[in-house]
Each structure stands twice: as C-alpha cells, then as structure tokens.
Homo-oligomer: A and B are copies of this chain.
Amino acid sequence: MATHKLLLLPGDGIGVEVMEEVKKIIAWLESKGVASFAIEEDLVGGAAFDDHGESISEGAMKKAHQADAIMFGAVGGPKWDKVPYDKRPEAGLLRLRKDLDLFANLRPALCYPALADSSSLKREIVEGLDILIVRELTGGVYFGEPKIIEELPDGQQRAIDTQVYTTNEIARIARVAFELARLRKNIVHSAEKNNVMKSGVLWKQVVTKVHAEEYSDVGLEHILADNCAMQLVRNPKQFDVLVTDNLFGDILSDAASMLTGSLGMLPSASLGAEKNGKRAAMYEPVHGSAPDIAGKGLANPIAEIASFGMALRYSLGLGDIADAVDRAISRVLDQGLRTRDIAALGEKTIGTSEMGNAVLAAL
C-alpha cells in the first residue's frame, strides 16, 4: 500500500478547528487500513508569524514541495493588522501559490438541495446551482511588479500595483477550463474587462484562439466582469464553467459561493502543471479564517472535509474513498444536522466537532 505524503497547514482562526476534523478522518482511514499516510504539519499565516516572525518558514516550504497534497486551513485576522506588509498572514498563502506554481484554482459554487433555503436568494434561483469557477491564481495584479508605495516630491504618496498577463499564462488556464467543461455541460464563460483593460483585450484574444484551435466542440461566451457580477445575482444558473483572472476570480467566486447558502460547505483545489506524472496541489475551503467565530467551536468543518475529499480524488488516486466522504457529507445533511452557517432561521445547530464526528460516523 502506497504511503501518501500529506502536509497539513491549518493556519489561523477557524482553520485550526476545521483541520482537527480532517485529522479524525485521516486517523480513522489509517486505523481501518484503508490507506496509509505520512502526515506532516506546519505553521502558516499569523500563527507562523507569531512563532518565528515570517508568514511561512523555509522548512514548511520544503515540506510543501515534497508533499503529494497540501491541506490548507485559512489565514489572517485583525490580530495581525499592523504586521509589515511582506510578513502579513496572507503572504504565506501567496508564496505557496506562487512557488508551487498553483495556477489553476477550481472553486465550485454548489447549492446543496437541503440548504437552498439558507441562501439569501429565492429558492428557484439557486436550487440545483452548480457553477465551477476556474480562477487564474499565480498572475495578474497579485504578483505583477512594480507593487510599491512611493513618496512624491509634493509630500503625497503614490501606490502602484501592476496587472500583468502573458499569452501562455492565459492559454494554460483557458485549457483547464475547456477540459473541465467537457466533463460538465460543455460551456465556458470567460470574464474580463476588455473595454477598459489591455489585459482584458489579451485575455479575450487568447481564450478565443485556444478555443478555436483546440476546443471548438465546447461552447464559449465572453462576458464583461461587471456584467458577470450582475448576472451571477440575477440568474446564476446560466453559468457552468466560468474562467477569469486572479482578481476578478477572487471577487466573483466569493459572490458566487455566497449565492449558494453553502459557503461553509465549499471546497477548492489549487493545482499546478503536471510534471513527471506529478502535479503540485493544495486544497482549502472557500471560507476564510472567520476571526469573529474562531475558537468557539462553531465553524462548519465540511468545507475542509470536502477539500480533503478532493485531495483523495485528484492527488492521491483514492477516488473510492473520496466518493465515500462525499456520501457521508450528504448523509449528515439529510439527517438534518446543521452548523450555524447553514441553518435556516429557527433550526437547531451543532458545533464543529459534533459535525466532524457525524461525518465520521456516516463513513
């Protein structure tokens, strides 16, 4: 039986709590002899800064490069508001993405039927919603240089961020979107602002070219990012696969995930290019560190558990176990078990570890 190298990076806030529930599942799988894991754990984000003054250590980065898959929790919180910019919690996450070249961020926005009523949108608008947002994760304004604040002669300051995209960066994320679309409803929407941004002009050109040359069997629609935000609110079910850049992806995927009423349920995968049959991969919940409820045992662990399910499927070749995890999640929902985030008004709620135990029991 192969041993799978997993790196756990729980991070800050509720990241720590939800990771505990994944550990229970890992322990159970090992105890049953179903799979064998070599588990490493390390600090990232504010927790790392508090420990040794950086948002991620060289040692943790080394483990990250060696792992078959990384399970990430969440980073950030008001505690680190005053930390220097390059040492802030988010820097650790961004370094992982960049150094491992995790360019393809897959963010499903899925409305679980049992939860349709906890959405702020009308049931008929979101019931059955199943969008996959494919966000470019290692380019754009997140990493472009110059990224500075400079002093002007007149005493003012001037801040500069730089949005940069090359042909190849756009082409490779477009291919990921088209490949995934073939496994789904065969239609891709590509969102940019080509009416204002040169990166939008190039984005549209390259996506159009990759489509014509390699994926003409897949449907393609171009949409302006502002209109896309509107359409996500108006009629989200018109979308299936939505590909967009790093910054638009950040905002549109957050809006989309909130539509579902299932934010605490949504996993994500950040994938690198395949090299020698291996592909760097990090899995994390779509939700953040939620400082307001951290440490209270209120967080929903399902997004982190479902992220572990994605790791089993896409990085460890354990699709059967992944299926079992997904079924266990459905079962606890059908049993009416709810953490606070997914409860309808008046519904009884349970805490993080109760939810984790319930998923484990359903396994």
Contacts of A90 in B (CB 8 A): 195-196
Contacts of A164 in B (CB 8 A): 158-160
Chain A residues in contact with chain B, CB under 8 A? Answer: 76, 85, 88, 90, 94, 120-122, 125, 141-142, 144, 147-149, 152, 156-168, 193, 195-199, 201-203, 225-227, 229-230, 232-235, 247-248, 250-252, 254-255, 257-259, 263, 288
Contacts of A199 in B (CB 8 A): 159-161
A163 pairs with B166, CB closer than 8 A: no
A160 pairs with B230, CB closer than 8 A: no
For A90, A160, A168, which residue has the most chain B Cβ atoms within 10 angstroms?
Answer: A160
Main secondary structure, interface of A, reads: helix
A257 pairs with B230, CB closer than 8 A: yes
Distance (Å) between the CB of A350 and the closest chain B CB?
21
For A147, A156, A159, A263, which residue has the most chain B Cβ atoms within 10 angstroms?
Answer: A159
6 nearest A-B pairs in the assembled complex, by CB-CB distance: A159-B202, A156-B167, A159-B199, A229-B255, A161-B163, A233-B258
Distance (Å) between the CB of A174 and the closest chain B CB?
14
Distance (Å) between the CB of A294 and the closest chain B CB?
15
| CB within 8 Å for A254 and B229 given contacts A158-B165, A195-B90 | yes
Q: Among B121, B159, B233, B255, which residue has its beta carbon within 8 angstroms of that of A165?
A: B159
Contacts of A156 in B (CB 8 A): 166-168
A196 pairs with B142, CB closer than 8 A: yes
A160 pairs with B163, CB closer than 8 A: yes
Q: Would you list 11 pairs from A and B whose C-beta atoms are within 8 A, ordered by A residue?
A: A120-B122, A159-B165, A159-B198, A160-B199, A161-B162, A161-B163, A161-B199, A193-B247, A226-B251, A229-B254, A251-B252
Q: Among B144, B163, B166, B233, which residue has its beta carbon within 8 angstroms of that of A157?
A: B166
CA distance A196 to B94 in the complex (A): 9
B167 pairs with A157, CB closer than 8 A: yes
CA distance A229 to B162 in the complex (A): 22
Residue of B nearest to A231 (CB): B258
CA distance A235 to B257 in the complex (A): 14
Residue of B nearest to A287 (CB): B230
B233 pairs with A88, CB closer than 8 A: no
Distance (Å) between the CB of A156 and the closest chain B CB?
4
Residue of B nearest to A152 (CB): B166
CA distance A236 to B101 in the complex (A): 36
A254 pairs with B226, CB closer than 8 A: yes
Contacts of A250 in B (CB 8 A): 193, 196, 225-226
Contacts of A157 in B (CB 8 A): 166-167, 202
Distance (Å) between the CB of A95 and the closest chain B CB?
13
Contacts of A259 in B (CB 8 A): 233
Distance (Å) between the CB of A324 and the closest chain B CB?
31
A147 pairs with B94, CB closer than 8 A: no
Contacts of A193 in B (CB 8 A): 247, 250
Contacts of A252 in B (CB 8 A): 229, 251
Contacts of A144 in B (CB 8 A): 160
Contacts of A248 in B (CB 8 A): 251
CA distance A247 to B257 in the complex (A): 21
CA distance A278 to B284 in the complex (A): 53
A198 pairs with B161, CB closer than 8 A: yes
Contacts of A247 in B (CB 8 A): 193, 196
Apart from the given pairs A229-B254, A251-B252, 13 other A-B contacts in the complex at a CB distance below 8 Å: A120-B235, A121-B233, A141-B141, A158-B202, A159-B197, A160-B162, A160-B198, A160-B199, A226-B250, A229-B251, A229-B252, A230-B258, A233-B255
